[in-house]
Amino acid sequence: MNAGSPSIVRVEAGHACYDVTIGADCLAGLGSVLRTTAPTAIRAHLVIDAGVPESLVNRVRSAFSESGLIGNESRLTPSEPIKSTPTWQRLLLDIAEASLERSDVIIALGGGIVGDLAGFAAASYRRGIPIIQCPTTLLAMVDASVGGKTGFNIETSHGLLKNMVGAFHQPAAVLADVDALASLDERVFRAGLAECVKHAMLSADYGDPDLADWMARSTTNILARNPATLTELVTRNVAVKAAVVRTDERERSSGDQGRALLNLGHTFAHAIETIDSLSPTNDPNLAPLMHGEAVSLGLIASATLAEQLGRASGMVEPLRNRLVKFGLPTAVRGLPESGEILARMAHDKKADTGRSRFVIPIGDGSSRVVLDPPVQAVVAAIESIRA
């Protein structure tokens, strides 16, 4: 795949269909996308991740000028604590102060936290206005920006509950400019690879049985952030996610297929990533875990659970080796006792009619949903990631 040739993945989600454009310098085409997706817009509100280079922000501002739009901005410094009701309210006030109408448009420029918050503001302001997602992290490109999930966390007596408030609000378009990945901190970049490994563990049922092998062959170029390789990596991952979303936009399937499969590793991940003391290494200065690091641990736990249930064999060590090559953690020190982790899982939004729900890999790029597995099997899975 030529780094100079953007690729396009079409997402079909219920009544919403949109293009995900992926490639080097594809943000240069934002003006054209704005004219196509929001032809009657007068104003645009840009929600900026404070970590995004100013050169990328200026590209978006130039697109506003090209399109004759009046631009306004909000700037967020992303972290799990700001993914909250007050931040959402602040965004709504900024948008209202800018006098956006229903035909106007919001642009999200940043990582998954910014995309989720801007997406929910777009879903709720005037009962829904268009949003264009411009993800700038690998995790946001391959996962958070596609599929229409938006929202934020809430703090309860049970602790912080991840993404418990939100809405399905599909974007009008997504532009994944892989040039943005060159400026990412190494840890942030590698964290996004966990979602790519996850997609490869279910991709055989969604049109790409070779994804895991291709990623293994391309490891050097991926870690070197070769633009052509990154374009292919993001394209293939987005295509897998789009295929899943097409079958089950709102995660309503009660079987062992559908959008729930995208939660592979996440039931474990959500239970541990809000524990502030956990670090991907022994260095407490690196605490807490990033989402992708928690997903990496969750994938190991899920593979262990599959083996405990007799649904797979010989998966854990090859998976561990794959994650280690991408610089991702496979065990963590300081994990609370298993009972506390189980209690956190009980309040996860992925529970199904009061039953715990896990996604497990069964091999050859396929995964399945299991309900209420034996507690001792889940405990063994938790212990598998304890350093």
Question: Does residue 136 fall inside a structural domain?
Answer: yes
Q: Nearest Cα to 109, choosing from 155, 149, 166, 51?
A: 51
Q: What is the average pLDDT across 205-226?
A: 98
* pLDDT of 2 above 70: no
- In this structure, is residue 194 part of a structural domain? no
Q: Is residue 217 part of a domain?
A: yes
Q: Region 301-329: what's the mean pLDDT?
A: 98
Output 4 or 229, whichever has higher pLDDT: 229
For residue 255, name the pLDDT band (cuts at 50, 70, 90): low
Q: Is 200 a member of any domain? A: no
Residue 269 lies in a domain: yes
Q: Are residues 323 and 361 in the same domain?
A: yes
> Which range of residues forms the domain containing residue 49?
7-183
Selection from 205, 181, 381 nearest residue 301 by Cα:
381
Can you tell me the distance from the alpha carbon of 172 to that of 122, in angstroms, rounded to the nearest whole number?
Answer: 11
Give 346's pLDDT tier (boundaries 50, 70, 90). Answer: confident
For 156, list phi and psi in degrees, rounded to 5. Answer: -130, 180
Tell me which DSSP letter residue 84 carries. Answer: S
- Provide the number of structural domains found in the chain: 2
- Percent of the chain residues past pLDDT 70, beyond the cut: 97
Q: pLDDT (tens digit, 9 = 90+) per residue, 77-104?
A: 999 889 999 999 999 999 999 999 999 9
Name the pLDDT band for 258 (thresholds 50, 70, 90).
Answer: confident
Q: Is the pLDDT of residue 254 over 80?
A: no
Tell me the per-residue pLDDT of 116-142, one tens digit each, with 9 for 90 and over.
999 999 999 999 999 999 999 999 999
CATH number at residue 167: 3.40.50.1970
Residue listed under structure tokens 């899982």: 345
In a domain? residue 189: no
H-helix or E-strand containing 7?
Answer: strand 7-13
The predicted structure's pLDDT at residue 353: 60
The mean per-residue pLDDT over the stretch 52-63 comes to 96
